[in-house]
Every structure is written in C-alpha cells, then in structure tokens.
Amino acid sequence: MTSQPTARDRLLDAAEDLAAMQGVSVTPVDAILERARVSPATLYAHFGTKEGLITQALRRRLARWDTTWQECIEEAPTPEEKLLAVFTALSRHRHALTPSRWCVFLGVAAETPHPGRDLEDTLAADTRLLLHRLEELAATLVDTQQAPLLARRLVLIYTGVLGMILRGTDVDTATAEGRHIAGMTLHAAAGSTSSAP
C-alpha cells in the first residue's frame, strides 16, 4: 500500500505544477492551497511565505534535474557524448515532470526582479550547476583555458533551446537541434585547440 503524499509534498507539487504551467506571479496563494488541499496555516507553518514555498519547490526540481543529468552523463559512452548529454537530459527531464512553458528557473527569475536571498541563491544554483559541470566535461575535450568559454557557449545554446520550446517548438526537436549545434561548436573549439602552435 502506497503512502499518501504529506501536506508539505502536496504544497511543493502544487507550487511546482502551477509555476511551471502558468507562472508564479499570476498564481495566487489561494490557487496553490486549493490544489494542495491545505489551509493557509499549513503553508506558513512549513514555508513561511509563498516565496519560501517557491524556493523549496525549485530546490527540489533542481535536485531532480541534477540526478537526471548525471544519469545521462553516466550512460554516455564517450567524453563528447557526455558533454552533449545535457540535451538528452533536458528532453528526459521535461518528459518526466509537469510540462512547463519553458524553464521554470528562468520564468521565476523573470517574474521576480527583487527576490529574497534564499530564492536568489536557488536561482543562481541552477546557473552554477550548468556552467561548472559543462566546464568540467569540456576540460576533457579541449584545452583547459578554452573550457570556460566552451561551457558558456553551450549554456547559450541550451538557453536558446528553452526559448524555442517557449515559441512552440517540440521538445525533442528543439533538443535535437540544440545538440547538433552544440556538437558543431565543440568540434570548432577542438579543432582550434589541435591547430594551435
């Protein structure tokens, strides 16, 4: 017999689902409470504020993204495939969770010009994870001095993929195209490394 989700988990699920589907600023607390089937007192007891709830929902989503991405890296057979696995992970991650218009982290960042410290740190953690892991993987393929630049370029491509999803491109199509462009970017960087004196 499976256990029922706790009130805390129902609140996290409701906040994540509604933020993903329609955005944070247009989602009133009452809508989250109704979806989670809890009282205002329960929300405030667990999270303090709506922003506290959103912060914890994002942290949980980031942990799930991290796990999915690591699994895709482990499955990839070569260093190049491991670097490009970010696009495989993006497709897998989006199919596994509540469909979102694009990136929940970018959406919350756009809607929250003055986040509190915890939310600001959580939004920054998503960017740090992308840059640092891509840089580590890139360093196995190009000169270590070029790895940070290649990582930033791949994040730009990754963000472009998310933008195309927002514009209506199918997730699998967008990630496949992003992977192709990232592969060309990698080959260009590797070629400039090998031809350097």
Q: Look up residue 85 and give its two tokens.
A: 């696995």
Report yes or no on 162 lying in a domain: yes
Give CA separation, 18 vs 58, 79, 128, 165, in Å: 12, 37, 25, 18
User: Would you state the structure tokens that stand for residue 114, as one six-digit string?
Assistant: 């003055």
> Looking at the domain assignment, is residue 44 inside a domain?
no
Are the CB atoms for 11 and 36 separated by under 8 Å? yes
Could you tell me if residue 166 is inside a domain? yes
Task: Assess whether pLDDT exceeds 80 at residue 193.
Answer: no
Please write the tens of the pLDDT for every residue from 97-137.
Answer: 877 778 999 999 999 999 999 999 999 999 999 999 999 99
Q: Is pLDDT at 194 greater than 70 in this prediction?
A: no
- Domain assignment present for residue 49? The answer is no
Question: For the chain, what is the domain count?
Answer: 1
- How would residue 1 be classed by pLDDT, with cut points 50, 70 and 90? low
Does the predicted model carry a pTM greater than 0.85? Answer: yes
The token duo for 177 is 């195209």
Query: Per the domain annotation, does 104 fall within a domain?
Result: yes
pLDDT digits (tens, 9 = 90+) for 79-90: 999 999 999 999
Average pLDDT over residues 40-64: 96
How far apart CA 177 and CA 146 sit, in angstroms, is 23
Token pair listed for 183:
């592969």
- 32 in a structural domain: no
The Cα 34–Cα 36 span in angstroms is: 5
Query: Mind listing the pLDDT tens digit for each residue in 133-150?
Result: 999 999 999 999 999 999
Q: Are 46 and 101 in contact (CB under 8 A)?
A: no
* Domain span including residue 100: 57-194
Q: How far apart are CA 197 and CA 193, in angstroms?
A: 9
Q: What is the pLDDT of residue 83?
A: 98
Chain-centroid distance, C-alpha 159: 10
Are the beta carbons of 108 and 54 closer than 8 angstroms?
yes
pLDDT at 2: 62
Span 5-48, pLDDT tens digits: 999 999 999 999 998 888 888 899 999 999 999 999 999 999 99
The span from the CA of 111 to the CA of 20, in Å, is 12
The CATH number linked to 81 is: 1.10.357.10
| Residue 189 pLDDT greater than 50, yes or no | yes
* Domain assignment of residue 153, yes or no: yes
